[in-house]
Structure 1
Amino acid sequence: MARLIIVRHGNTFDKGDTVTRVGGRTDLPLSASGLAQADALAHHFADTRFVAAFCSPLMRTRQTARAMIGMRTGSPALIVLPFLTEVEYGPDENQPEEKVVARIGEAALEAWERDATPPEGWRVDADALREGWRSLLERAAGLGAEDTALIVTSNGIARFLPDVVDVQPDDLDRKLKTGAWGVVEVDGATSCITSWNLRP
């Protein structure tokens, strides 16, 4: 059956930096540790032949995807899909987490982490994101039985994928960590998350 490797880009902050909530309006590059994560992903998947590769327009996803597909002969062209761009955090964009929690409250943040319910003020078109994932799964259904495709996105986008797959682990945590990946297997019209939050 065909496989989709769903990857969250590497870090955009390093130890000692002030970490903020970075959304789709902020196009940060990978930090030093993020580049190291991308390199680790590239080494882990060095023997994987990707037949297709997708990412968002954001620099951090493009850098991660390019590291993974490399410059090998036969590497696929990197296709940018706008729906894979991170969500927009409205008034919380570029704010440190303590300020975000102070504005929206712990309960709202927990609902986002658990159910992908956006807090007030965030710009998230959940239906469009789910439709984007459905479209990718339909594309994957047309891949060969041994084919593998790469998708590099952000945490806010990846968390909507479980809503449209047919089978997933009961204890799945929607949050995909930086530099981590999940695997979706597609067999005809049936899709299954077989692993999630793996790191090299």
Structure 2
Amino acid sequence: MRAIIVRHGNTFAPGEPPRRIGARTDLPLVESGRLQAQALAECFNGMQFDRCLASPLRRTQETAAIIAPNLRPEPAIWLREIDHGPDEGLSETEVIARVGARALADWDVHALPPPGWIVDASARVAAWRAFFAGMTGTVLLVTSNGAARFARIALGLGPARLRTGAYAEITAGAVTAWDVRP
């Protein structure tokens, strides 16, 4: 039993200032994001995926289609990006001005969402645990950083960042790779 967790590719073009984008904003991949997805596809060349689960957002669906063109991604709401509430679409500077650097550090280190973010952490952890408990074969999951962090928490580990175009591997309930970019 193996889970390959992929964070979607880039949604901002080079030189375009990044913003907090979550569940409310359905951006497509930009060219560099499509290239990241292609690099992942080449990295997994020869790997046979039995299933593909993906967030319903366009960026994850596009990434999944590039990596596993012969599998139709099953939409999984529990893989959808978290909701950044009043910070959706804001720059990191604007988010820090509103919530403070400590609140963002608490999100990164402890998965404690800043005020106004809509995150049902217990439901996310329960969904990952249920997935791991029933998983068979090799499954590709395409999601976001906000959702992926709860996979580690479900396994009794602390949250960790998964960069765009990177993957994690969980084999037989153990993290064997995290945040690997091909």
* TM range, smaller chain: over 0.9
Aligned residues: 182
CA distance in 2: counterparts of 1:78 and 1:93, whole angstroms: 26
Across the aligned residues of Structure 1 and Structure 2, the Cα RMSD in angstroms comes to 1.2
Question: Among residues 153, 166, 170, which one is paired with 1:163 in the alignment?
Answer: 153
Partner of 2:174: 192
Partner of 1:179: 165
Matches within 5 A, 1:41-120: 41-71=40-70, 76-120=71-115
Question: Among residues 137, 145, 149, which one is paired with 2:139 in the alignment?
Answer: 149
CA distance in 2: counterparts of 1:45 and 1:82, whole angstroms: 25
Tell me the CA shift for residue 50 of structure 1.
0.1
Provide Cα deviations, 1:50-78, integer angstroms capped at 9, x if missing partner: 0011001000000111111123xxxx431
Which residue identity is paired with 1:194? T
CA contact (8 A) 2:65 2:72 kept: no
Query: Helix, strand or coil for the counterpart of 1:10?
Result: coil
Gaps of 5+ in 1: none
CA distance in 2: counterparts of 1:173 and 1:92, whole angstroms: 21
Which residue identity is paired with 2:108? E
CA distance in 2: counterparts of 1:156 and 1:192, whole angstroms: 20
CA distance in 1: counterparts of 2:92 and 2:118, whole angstroms: 18
CA distance in 2: counterparts of 1:99 and 1:5, whole angstroms: 33
CA distance in 2: counterparts of 1:77 and 1:30, whole angstroms: 18
Which residue identity is paired with 2:162? L
Structure 1 residues 66, 199: CA separation in 2 closer, same or farther (over 3 Å shift)?
A: same
Which residue identity is paired with 2:175? I
